[in-house]
Structure 1
């Protein structure tokens, strides 16, 4: 089974600039003014233009809001060098929500992209999550 990642944005050019600069992704297919495919990660990422205030379907009461927010589902970017990745993401326009912290499994920093989507940068140390796994 494959999966792909969709990220709603209200400005395609700005989103493409951020994700290509912050994570080294490259544009793939373009879908007119409605979206772009980004390649270079373990799964394709699709940036989809969705205006603020719209909903996914008429049955969904919640509306898209590009203010700062965290959802239960977000992206964790696994990196070899957290400090370098953090510098690159901030230079591309990310906001630091929580400075890097070290845990038994590795290091983590919490950020938000320019569209308010929360994401984490992870650098595994030692055996990574196996350092804390029960089995």
Structure 2
């Protein structure tokens, strides 16, 4: 498979990036690797990074409905689910729902995230996947797999998993899916992916061939697109 782009990181919108970034650094035990007026970044021991981008007009999601959908969420692994959920609440999270092996919470910016039970995680949490909502999870998984050279390692009725380089993207099947309409603040993106390319023109050609749309934002080193489900993503040289 031709590798056009390489997954770099997921970036979540927030009005107060210092608050939400510090929350995740404290909760997960990850290192703070970026802290400037526009971005706050944290890095897990395996090298995976998540950033928070300043968006003064950010409208938080209202999980679980689709009027103000989550769009993206993080799946975090821990070996002490109940204790870590209580600690998350003490740090500023809101507990939303309990499952048999997971607990769903909202971070201080309102983004839902899941704490998932896993053995032998240790004191530092692991990022299992960045999970993305989709009206057709299988199709969106194959779009990103074809664009990045990652592999669709699971494809089922509830969603699909794309893996590569010890990184996972999960695509979650959503009924009544409500797409973002970036840059319309009434239909916010909530988060986006940054993908690295060697050549912006070649990356754009491949993304468009696979079904992406070009969006009206660009710079010398990046261009913005919408994937087939409407989620914005950036190609960065």
**Same fold, TM-score > 0.5, yes or no:** yes
The 1-side partners of 2:15 and 2:78 are apart by: 27
Aligned-partner SS, 2:85: helix
Listed one character per residue, the Cα deviations across residues 92-125 of structure 1 (whole Å, up to 9, x for unaligned) are 11100013x32xxxx1111101111011111147
Matched, 1:23 2:22: no
Could you say which structure has the higher strand fraction? 2
Q: Contact 1:21–1:89 (CA<8 Å) still a contact in 2? A: no
CA RMSD of aligned residues (A): 2.2
5+ residue gaps, structure 2: 1-5, 64-68, 120-155, 157-237
5+ residue gaps, structure 1: 53-63, 126-132
The equivalent of 2:109 in structure 1 is 115
The 2-side partners of 1:29 and 1:72 are apart by: 24
TM-score (norm 1): 0.69
Select which of 36, 49, 55 maps to 2:54.
49
The equivalent of 2:18 in structure 1 is 13
Q: Contact 1:27–1:39 (CA<8 Å) still a contact in 2? A: yes
Q: Contact 2:105–2:112 (CA<8 Å) still a contact in 1? A: yes
Please identify runs of 4+ aligned residues in structure 1 that moved more than 4 A.
none
Structure index of larger Rg: 2
Aligned-partner SS, 1:116: coil
